[in-house]
């Protein structure tokens, strides 16, 4: 019985630090994910403002290509974040 108790304590001792290490990795990953989400949202917002400004100044037809390009860039940012 004493041997079982000692083995249990040793098992907890060896797995305990790895659990904390895994917790640190997940927190780090969550922070990176939030940072990537904010960065992507900021880029998207800036592109949306540029699209609306272009439409007001230059008209709808001249800005259509820029709007499509910005939509492609938004999609690329989303895929890039998913790959990380």
Contact criterion met (CB below 8 Å) for 75 and 31: no
**3-state percent helix, strand, coil for the chain, nearest multiple of 5:** 95, 0, 5
Confidence band, pLDDT 50/70/90 cuts, at residue 14 = low
> Across all residues in the chain, what is the average pLDDT?
78
Contact criterion met (CB below 8 Å) for 55 and 63: yes
Tell me, what's the pLDDT at 46? 92
Confidence band, pLDDT 50/70/90 cuts, at residue 45 = very high
82 vs 1, residue with greater confidence: 82
């Amino acid at each position: 019985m004493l041997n079982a108790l000692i083995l249990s304590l040793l098992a907890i001792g060896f797995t305990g630090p790895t659990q904390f290490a895994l917790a640190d990795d997940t927190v780090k990953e969550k922070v990176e994910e939030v940072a990537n989400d904010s960065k992507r949202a900021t880029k998207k917002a800036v592109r949306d403002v540029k699209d609306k400004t272009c439409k007001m100044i230059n008209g709808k037809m001249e800005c259509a290509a820029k709007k499509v390009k910005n939509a492609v860039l938004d999609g690329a940012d989303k895929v890039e974040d998913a790959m990380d």
